[in-house]
A and B are shown apart, each in its own frame.
Chain A
């Protein structure tokens, strides 16, 4: 596919269906006026939820509680494996239990500013508003959040904010939130409102008369291709950060469900907005399968530094205080080590590129707990970060209680995703996207601990309200049969593609292609981008895609458990998605949040936004095989917030 950016057309304004009225009342008014479905009719309506992380499990269980017939799908053996499990540091809420000046409004402002003014005001305000209900609900479900001695909930600070609003369960907050959502899902499975299909991978969306009506899934144990129908389909399929091969994501995370939906007509928004997390353990060997995150919460007490001298090879503890450059504290005195992730990542890259990096390849910086340990004692640090310190030691063999950690940025979270309106519906009627799979709330950069907040808000409190507005019009539609032409065609195309993958008969494994794609994307479409590099990446990806379809080897057949086939099918989609990421990065001739175009920076190397031309969402429409995607702009209006230069100095 050739991408011709100059040919993109501003076809029509996307309608985000944002309710009228003052910002603070939009959600309240919406809830009061949304159409409802009566309990007797709910029982006749089927909903498919794909993905069972926090967002999917929350949505499925809540829809089940409401009385709908829900079918959930996961490619894991059990919902509890989903990658929400790996979210470490915490979950934000505007409770203001600390009395430190927090409020829904302040959380909203922090997210808008953190996202560098590229998110929708109404969506972000709603996420902030719902955050308090999320904490209440998780607590009621038995999440063992950290407590103070009086029995009340404890909080900690996170990057990009000046209040302490992050609730946490050691460094395993995501695990505990996922297990709570899994428990609420299990309760509905027992009640018979939800049917769980494990070991199923969604390989296509079925659209009938313009509406999402079902999915084609592969049973990963038997290899059988299955048809499942419903009145509406909800995608909670996560992000696509594994396009970089090495990322903080789980190895099986993939873009396939979202990508197939894009090819069936759902617009893909801001695909190039990918967050690079500043604190991951650096790569250690060529077979490495992932980069392990060290929670951002560590930056509360850890100080980031490199030697002042280029190429200083002394062990860190031998470098005296006055020869250390605490570059974040130096450059950003107001926020210091707690600047947002995009800024911390670029600052680390800048030091390493300039030759000050540490470690064998010079591609890492120190995260040092010496001062915090001296001041607070080992016990206090252990209580807050014990499991993270242990994990670091297990992986690297170095003890962070006695020697600083080495960290480097890694691909982490995709702010981009399927375009959705205020109701979380994509451009295909009846198809919804929630959690990381959509694009809506984080703009060009996500603040720490707002991921769990948003995915739980979407799944528990937003989608189960908004979906009624659509389903109210579906009550007269009988159960959708799976025998129709659209199901036949979708199944046929899935089978043909899989058969093609196993019949290439080349020499290289799927993973070897994935690694090469990841390197291209990291080098040219990662932390920093420029037009020349992006155009080069387009060529490189095109060549790699051609090589993939000539020289791939997938052993085994379709009709069995075949992990190489699973991988190959996902990588085939990544090889297509890569073009769209690059196209989007080329389109956006500005730097904002995590998207850093080298041509657009200030004299001191900070992002330079172009609000006049790019205060918009770039939503891409699939135009057909080999054709350039069509760009639709959703102009963002800031009525509440004054757009400023984001400053953490």
Chain B
């Protein structure tokens, strides 16, 4: 199929960005969205142009490195997939596709479609852990966890830290991202001991870094490629309330 791409190009955080239009011919429906961009970049490099910068790594939807706004949706219009897993068979011949970086104040653009997501690490550093030194753990089966709790904790922990929730939120809120970690630990006995300190520290850091409040619109849940649920935000609020 033949496509028209409108891609955001921006040299660095200080420069002004703009959309640049590219024509792509003979795109196979079996390509992934990133493979289509690879093909564009090959063409650009071999014709003396400047390739589009975007981040990616595992190409199987688990590392959370890739992410871009495609036709107004983080990771594109198909639910529950990352950009690398978005198949071109969801597009049609003649389509115009608009591609932008994540847009959020705490995520400044580094170049083209790459944004600085270090703010997410800072929140994790503030308290996203259980304080156990290597060597101090008891036998694994001495910590019993109800099957249901383990499964719910897993569903929260499936968050890949891509930032789509922040990009989707009109308040640029990181509540879904933060609540995924809070929930994982809140549901496990190992995590209960530090629950209060953890939730205070992570929420405080989140606010400090300029992420907005939860808008209660649920855009984050709708756009999350790993289907992390809104119920985690409710749990975060409850944990936060209990911490004071």
- Where the two chains meet, the residues of A that have a C-beta atom closer than 8 Å to any C-beta of B are 58, 61-62, 65, 76-78, 80-83, 85-86, 95, 97, 133, 135-142, 144-153, 169-170, 172, 175-176, 179, 182-184, 186-187, 189-190, 196, 198, 221, 250-252, 284-290, 292-293, 390-391, 394-395, 397, 460-461, 464, 507-509, 511-512, 553, 555-556, 560-561, 563-564
12 other A-B residue contacts (CB within 8 Å) besides A144-B154, A144-B184: A80-B64, A141-B137, A141-B190, A142-B184, A145-B140, A147-B151, A151-B146, A250-B57, A251-B58, A289-B34, A290-B58, A563-B51
Question: B118 within 8 Å of A by Cβ?
Answer: yes
- What residues on A are CB-neighbors of B12 within 8 Å? 560-561
Which residue on A lies nearest to B155, using beta carbons? A144
User: Does residue B230 face the partner (Cβ distance < 8 Å to A)?
Assistant: no
Q: Would you call A141 and B140 a contact (CB within 8 A)?
A: no
Inter-chain contact B85/A395, CB cutoff 8 Å: yes
| A80 engages B46 (CB within 8 Å) | no
Are B125 and A186 closer than 8 Å at their CB atoms? yes
Q: Which residues of B contact A391 (CB under 8 A)?
A: 60-61, 85
Asked if residues B60 and A86 are in contact (CB atoms below 8 Å), the reply is yes
Given A142-B184, A563-B51, are A76 and B65 also a contact pair (CB < 8 Å)? yes
Q: Mark B122-160, 1 if CB is under 8 A from A, else 0.
A: 001111111111111111110111110011011001101
Chain B: interface residue total (CB-CB under 8 A): 79
Tell whether, in the assembled complex, residue B124 and residue A144 are in contact, meaning their CB atoms are under 8 Å apart.
Answer: no
B45 touches A284 (CB 8 A): no
Q: B49, B114, B121, B188: which has the most chain A beta carbons within 10 Å?
A: B121
Q: Are B65 and A507 in contact (CB under 8 A)?
A: no
Q: Which of A139, A153, A182, A509 contacts B137 (CB 8 A)?
A: A139
Which has the most chain A C-beta neighbours within 10 Å: B38, B130, B150?
B150
- Residues on B with C-beta less than 8 A from A148 are 147
Contact, CB under 8 Å: A289 / B38: yes
Output the residue of B63, B110, B136 with the most chain A CB within 10 A: B63
- Bound-state Cα–Cα, A137 to B137, Å: 5
Residue of A nearest to B81 (CB): A394
What are 21 sample pairs from A and B whose C-beta atoms fall under 8 A apart?
A: A81-B58, A81-B64, A85-B58, A86-B60, A136-B140, A141-B130, A142-B130, A144-B145, A147-B145, A172-B158, A175-B160, A221-B110, A250-B63, A287-B38, A289-B32, A289-B59, A290-B59, A556-B50, A560-B12, A564-B45, A564-B51
B132/A83 in contact, CB under 8 A: no
Q: Are A81 and B65 in contact (CB under 8 A)?
A: yes
Asked if A292 and B60 sit within 8 Å, CB to CB, the answer is: yes
B141 surroundings in chain A (CB, below 8 A): 95, 97, 152-153
Q: Closest residue of chain B to A397, judged by CB? A: B89
A464 vs B58: C-alpha distance when bound (angstroms): 29
Residues of B within 8 A of A390 (CB): 80
Q: How far is the CB of B63 from the nearest CB of chain A, in Å?
A: 5
User: For B120, what are the chain A residues with a Cβ–Cβ distance below 8 Å?
Assistant: 78
Q: Do residues A85 and B125 form an inter-chain contact, with CB atoms below 8 A?
A: no
Q: Which residues of A contact B191 (CB under 8 A)?
A: 142
Q: Write out the residue numbers on chain A whose beta carbons fall within 8 Å of the beta carbon of B50.
A: 555-556
Closest chain-A Cβ to B30's Cβ sits at a distance in Å of 4
Q: Is B53 an interface residue (CB 8 A)?
A: yes
Residues of A within 8 A of B145 (CB): 144, 147, 151
Q: Which residues in A have their C-beta under 8 angstroms from that of B60?
A: 86, 290, 292-293, 391
Interface residue B214 (Cβ < 8 Å from any Cβ of A): no
- Residues of B with C-beta under 8 A to A512: 42, 46
Closest to A176 in B: B157
B55, chain A: closest CB distance, angstroms:
7
Determine if A133 and B154 form an interchain contact, defined as CB atoms under 8 angstroms apart.
no
Find A184's partner among B85, B111, B129 (CB 8 Å cutoff): B129
Q: Which of B179-231 contact A (CB under 8 A)?
A: 184-185, 188, 190-191
Q: Is B6 an interface residue (CB 8 A)?
A: no
CB pair B130–A555 under 8 Å, yes or no, is no
- Selected from A186, A251, A508, the residue in CB contact (under 8 A) with B128 is A186
Across the interface, B117 reaches (CB within 8 A) one of A78, A153, A183, namely A78
Q: Whose C-beta in chain A lies nearest to the C-beta of B115? A: A77
Docked-complex contact B117 and A287, CB < 8 angstroms: no
Residues of the B chain whose Cβ atoms lie less than 8 Å from the Cβ of A461: 134-135
Given the interface pairs A77-B117, A397-B87, A553-B45, the reply to whether A563 lies near B53 with Cβ below 8 Å is yes
Contacts of B129 in A (CB 8 A): 141, 183-184, 186-187
CA distance A142 to B143 in the complex (A): 10
Collect the chain A residues with CB atoms within 8 Å of residue B48's CB.
553, 555
A187 to B194, CA, bound (A): 13
- Interface contact A553-B190, CB-CB below 8 Å: no
In the bound complex, residues from chain A placing their C-beta under 8 Å from that of B3 are: none
Complex contact A285–B137 (CB within 8 A): no
Pair B130/A183 contact, Cβ less than 8 Å: yes
Kindly identify, within residues 4 to 21 of chain B, every residue whose CB is under 8 Å from any CB belonging to chain A: 12
Given contacts A81-B63, A139-B140, A153-B140, whether A65 and B134 have CB atoms under 8 Å apart is yes
B190→A287 contact, CB < 8 A: no
Specify which of B58, B133, B153 is in contact with A65 (CB 8 Å cutoff).
Answer: B133
A95 to B30, CA, bound (A): 44
A144 and B150 contacting across the interface, CB-CB below 8 Å: yes
Q: How far is the CB of B140 from chain A (nearest CB, A)?
A: 4
Closest Cβ of chain A to B138, distance in Å, is 7
Report yes or no: A77 in contact with B118, Cβ–Cβ below 8 A: yes
Which residues of B lie under 8 Å from residue A288 when comparing CB positions?
A: 31, 35
Give the chain A neighbours of B32 by CB distance below 8 A: 289, 395
Bound complex: CA A391 to CA B61 (Å): 8
Measured CB to CB, the closest approach of chain A to B130, in angstroms, equals 5
Which of A61, A86, A395, A511 sits near B38, CB closer than 8 Å?
A: A511
* Chain B, Cβ-Cβ closest to A84: B63
A142 to B59, CA, bound (A): 26
Chain B residue with minimal CB distance to A511?
A: B42
In the docked arrangement, what's the CA distance between A586 and B37, Å? 39
Which partner residue on chain B sits nearest A170 by CB separation? B154
Given A133-B137, A289-B34, A556-B50, the answer on whether A80 and B132 have CB atoms closer than 8 Å is no
Q: Is B2 an interface residue (CB 8 A)?
A: no
CB distance from A175 to the nearest CB of B (A): 6
Q: Known contacts A144-B150, A289-B38, A397-B87; is A83 also within 8 Å of B134 by CB?
A: no
Q: Of the candidates B28, B57, B81, B111, which one forms a contact with A561 in the assembled complex, judged by CB atoms under 8 Å apart?
A: B111
Q: How far is the CA of A288 from the CA of B39 in the complex (A)?
A: 10
Q: Which residues of B contact A290 (CB under 8 A)?
A: 58-60
A509 touches B143 (CB 8 A): no
Q: A140 near B130 (CB under 8 angstroms)?
A: yes
CB <8 Å contact, B55 and A77 = yes
Which one of A77, A137, A460, A509 lies within 8 Å of B65 (CB-CB)?
A: A77
Q: Which residues of B lie under 8 Å from residue A151 when comparing CB positions?
A: 144-147
User: Do residues B150 and A145 form an inter-chain contact, with CB atoms below 8 A?
Assistant: yes
Does A252 lie within 8 Å of B39, measured CB to CB? no
Please pick, from A141, A172, A555, the residue contacting B51 in the complex, using a CB distance under 8 A.
A555
Q: In the complex, how many angstroms separate the beta carbon of A456 from the nearest chain B beta carbon?
A: 10
Asked if B236 is at the interface of the complex by the 8 Å CB criterion, the answer is no
Q: Is the CB of B136 within 8 A of A140?
A: yes
Expressed in whole angstroms, the Cα–Cα distance for A188 and B165 within the complex equals 27
CB neighbours (8 Å) of B58 from chain A are 81, 83, 85-86, 250-251, 290
Q: Answer whether A285 and B117 are a contact pair too, CB < 8 Å, given A65-B134, A83-B57, A251-B57.
A: no
| Cα separation A564 to B110 with both chains bound (whole Å) | 16
CA distance A397 to B32 in the complex (A): 12
Complex Cα distance, B192 from A221, in Å, reads: 39
| 5 interchain residue pairs of minimum CB distance | A151-B144, A140-B137, A183-B129, A144-B154, A139-B140
Distance to closest chain B CB from A144 (angstroms):
4
Q: How far is the CB of A261 from chain B (nearest CB, A)?
A: 23
Q: How far is the CB of B123 from chain A (nearest CB, A)?
A: 10
Query: What are the residues of chain B within 8 A of A77 when measuring CB–CB?
Result: 55, 65, 116-118
C-alpha spacing A176/B151, complex, angstroms: 13
How many angstroms between the C-alpha atoms of A412 and B39 in the bound complex? Answer: 24
Q: How far is the CA of A290 from the CA of B57 in the complex (A)?
A: 10
B87 touches A394 (CB 8 A): yes
